[in-house]
A and B are shown apart, each in its own frame.
Chain A
Amino acid sequence: MFDPYRIRTDFPILQTKMNGRPLVFLDSAASSQKPFQVMDAIYRYYREEHANIHRGIYALSQKATEMYEQTRIQLAEFFHAKCAKVMIFTRGTTESINLVAQSWGRANIQRGDIIVLSESEHHSNLVPWQMLAEEKGAVIKYIPVGKDFKYDLSTLDEIINYRVKLVAISQMSNVTGTIYEVKPIIQKAHSVGALVLLDGAQGACHIPTNLQELDVDFYAFSAHKMLGPTGFGVLYGKEDILEKMPPWMGGGDMIREVSFEKTTYADLPARLEAGTPPIAEGIAFKEALDYLQNIGLAEIHKHEQNLVAYTIERMQELGGITIYGTDDLEARGGVVSFNVNGVHAHDVGSILDEQGIAIRVGHHCCQPFMKKLGIAGTCRASFYLYNTKEDVDALIEGLKKVKEVFARVVKR
């Protein structure tokens, strides 16, 4: 039985206060909070289990290596990958995408090639491609986002043609919470011989994802949005593609043999992972995956949808609020983006902050998408497994306060 009140007891930070008021944390889309199981794993590792991995001949190092690699095996299961070695460890989604751009992209993208993104991409899945396109003389095209906040697929056949080498799109929007229909795009891309990178920064933590069934070529995500530590993330790639990718960072761990003249490189996954990684974070990430698996992403998703529906209902009741997101609740994750009419998002954020309520305000690292929507920014409340209806009630009370302070300028 899914019980957010029970779950909350595993998250010590949710018992703390902010500005003297009980913390109402509604910013999990930026970074989730951590259960004590994850924190304990980090503490235990440094107290009892720490040694560098992949090198020591002694038991301590071997045990640390085993535990670290256990996370890789767990990840392959969690996301239904074919094997563990195709889960490449990075510092997060941003580094995962940069890895593809720098390694695969520089080797495969040529002048005149097309890279297809969507209009709602966050800067992490936009800037690396712009950098690559500029270097190579490639062209970037965008799949539009329609009035219903879903990908507009009506012009897909024109956008994805034989010059397209890569399609890099999001599984779920961090701004509107839309869970996108990506299968037709993946099929279309493959039909012209293009690869697909799916950005799972928001999706991985909310949507049960089967990578083999989805048939994506790359998948990128971060641990810290799914109850895990910061500074740790994953790039999944199909084995035959990863095998052909040149190393992108040189150093220890990624070599087979080094002489003064030449270096031969290690096999996957080590070849794409230079240097000593964040070991404690990697080991603790497994605890986060276990935690999510015990509860079940599908259950969590259902809970988030209930909260979203309740939030929208209460906001409509309150009035004077514009919500940016699809009406199709089935296609939504735990995100509600909105503006209090007439009041700037930062003013809303400050007033809520004073009442202990943490939301994100601004452009959400999606400046081009904001420009398309014709707004400077939005307020975003985002939910995860530990949020409750009471959190939503607190938000609504907070918004009443906003309307009171700005009574003179609030528009219906």
Chain B
Amino acid sequence: MSLKDDLYKEVIIDHYENPRNYGKLEDAHICEKGANPLCGDELELYLKLDQEKIQDISFEGKGCSISQASASMMTELVKGHTKEEAKQIMQKFKSAILEDKEQNFSEEEMELESLLGVKKYPVRVKCAVLAWNTLEQALKRG
């Protein structure tokens, strides 16, 4: 198994190269900052809410491919979903990556599996969960 298969899957590089939902949302209701100070990953999330629904979401940030690809995938997945649904996806992902619990990802969520390779690299796990922790903070406020 080479690292390319393990950690840097094509889909991660793709999200890193072409991040989805990247940029500032001018009329965002919530703006939440997240960071991994030790490695310098930075993230800013913008959310537009329509009552319980995440109507729109975007992010800006800089950091390693894992942190940026994870943020890109996260925004794609929760956009258009309710806050409750977003929380469920978040819990599923975090439990898979932090507790090593087997999860049944839906077809839509399949890309998340590409990030699970970081489990073998403990110092990189925090890169993968940064976007999700930031989302958690944002939803607590909204």
Which residues of chain B come closer than 8 Å to A404, judged between CB atoms? 4
> Provided the pairs A344-B65, A347-B66 are in contact, do residues A405 and B8 lie with their beta carbons within 8 angstroms?
yes
CB distance from A404 to the nearest CB of B (A): 8
Chain A residues bordering chain B, tally (CB within 8 A) = 19
Assembled-state Cα–Cα distance A362/B38 (Å): 8
Q: Are B121 and A376 in contact (CB under 8 A)?
A: no
Q: Are B40 and A363 in contact (CB under 8 A)?
A: yes
Interface residues in B1-37 by Cβ distance below 8 A to A read 2-4, 6-8, 13-14, 16-17
> Provided the pairs A344-B63, A405-B8, A409-B17 are in contact, do residues A350 and B39 lie with their beta carbons within 8 angstroms?
no
Residue of A343, A346, A363, A405 near B124 (CB, 8 A) is A346
Q: Are B64 and A344 in contact (CB under 8 A)?
A: yes
> Provided the pairs A405-B3, A405-B8, A408-B13 are in contact, do residues A347 and B38 lie with their beta carbons within 8 angstroms?
no
User: What does the 1/0 interface line of A339-376 toward B look like (CB < 8 Å)?
Assistant: 00001111100110110000000110000001000001
Which residues of chain A come closer than 8 Å to B65, judged between CB atoms? 343-344, 347, 406
B36 to A, closest residue via Cβ: A346
Q: Are A409 and B38 in contact (CB under 8 A)?
A: no
Which residues of chain B come closer than 8 Å to A376, judged between CB atoms? 40, 42, 62-63
Assembled-state Cα–Cα distance A168/B40 (Å): 26
Which residues of chain B come closer than 8 Å to A406, judged between CB atoms? 8, 13, 65
In the assembled complex, A377 has its CB within 8 A of some CB on chain B = yes
Interface residues in B51-70 by Cβ distance below 8 A to A read 62-66
In the assembled complex, B112 has its CB within 8 A of some CB on chain A = no
Which residues of chain A come closer than 8 Å to B115, judged between CB atoms? none
In the assembled complex, B127 has its CB within 8 A of some CB on chain A = yes
Q: Are A350 and B40 in contact (CB under 8 A)?
A: no
Residue of B2, B3, B17, B42 near A350 (CB, 8 A) is B3
Interface residues in B76-111 by Cβ distance below 8 A to A read none
Which residues of chain A come closer than 8 Å to B124, judged between CB atoms? 346, 350
Residue of A343, A354, A377, A408 near B40 (CB, 8 A) is A377
Assembled-state Cα–Cα distance A346/B39 (Å): 8
> Provided the pairs A376-B63, A409-B17 are in contact, do residues A347 and B39 lie with their beta carbons within 8 angstroms?
no
Q: Are A408 and B17 in contact (CB under 8 A)?
A: yes
A351 to B, closest residue via Cβ: B3
26 A-B pairs in the complex with CB atoms less than 8 angstroms apart: A344-B63, A344-B64, A344-B65, A345-B64, A346-B63, A346-B127, A347-B65, A350-B7, A350-B124, A351-B3, A351-B8, A354-B2, A362-B38, A363-B40, A370-B40, A376-B62, A377-B39, A377-B40, A404-B4, A405-B4, A405-B13, A406-B13, A408-B14, A408-B17, A409-B13, A409-B17
Using A351-B8, A376-B63 as known contacts, list a sample of 17 further A-B pairs with CB atoms less than 8 Å apart, ordered by residue number in A: A345-B64, A346-B39, A346-B64, A346-B124, A347-B8, A347-B64, A350-B3, A350-B7, A351-B3, A354-B2, A370-B40, A405-B3, A405-B13, A406-B13, A408-B17, A409-B13, A409-B16
